[in-house]
Amino acid sequence: MDVMNAFNKLDKTFKVLVIALIVLVALVPIGLIATGTAYGEWGPDELQQAVGYVPAGLQQLNGLWTPVLPDYNFPSGGDTLPEQTPGYYASAIIGVIVVGLIAYGIGKVIIKRND
């Protein structure tokens, strides 16, 4: 109930924008329909096919970092749309909360003006 009380105290515009954000999260699987790789974001195998070799430096830096949820999916998640959807939802929810909390924390720490 604390969350609801805090929510009710916010101004109406903010509430509508929060609802809009929740709607966007609910609709997020739409983003899975586009299956093509964005320009310049190809994996080494895709480059091999396109130009016939994998540039040496690229090969070296590729895979430098191992993310927790690679490509907004569970590491065990499959490639089909139904298999990707739960991971994509989880990613959207985790991402929105973590990003929101960090930005909120930064704001809380550095903003002192109250006028």
Interface residues for another protein in 73-112 (CB under 8 A)? 88, 91-92, 94-104, 106-108, 110-112
Q: What amino acid is encoded at 84 in this protein?
A: Q
Which two structure tokens, joined as six digits, stand for 28? Answer: 């997020």
Supply the minimum distance, in Å, between the C-beta of residue 8 and another protein.
14
Supply the minimum distance, in Å, between the C-beta of residue 1 and another protein.
19
SS3 71: helix
Q: What amino acid is encoded at 108 in this protein?
A: K
Dist CA 91 CA 74 (whole Å): 9
Supply the minimum distance, in Å, between the C-beta of residue 3 and another protein.
13
Q: Return the residues of window 16-75 that contact another protein according to CB under 8 A.
A: 16-18, 20-21, 24-25, 27-28, 30-41, 44, 47, 51, 53, 55-72
**Out of 2, 11, 45, 79, which residue is the one contacting another protein (CB under 8 A)?**
11
Supply the minimum distance, in Å, between the C-beta of residue 45 and another protein.
13
Q: Which residues contact 24 (CB under 8 A, 6 or more apart)?
A: none
Contact at 8 Å (CB) between 84 and 32?
A: yes
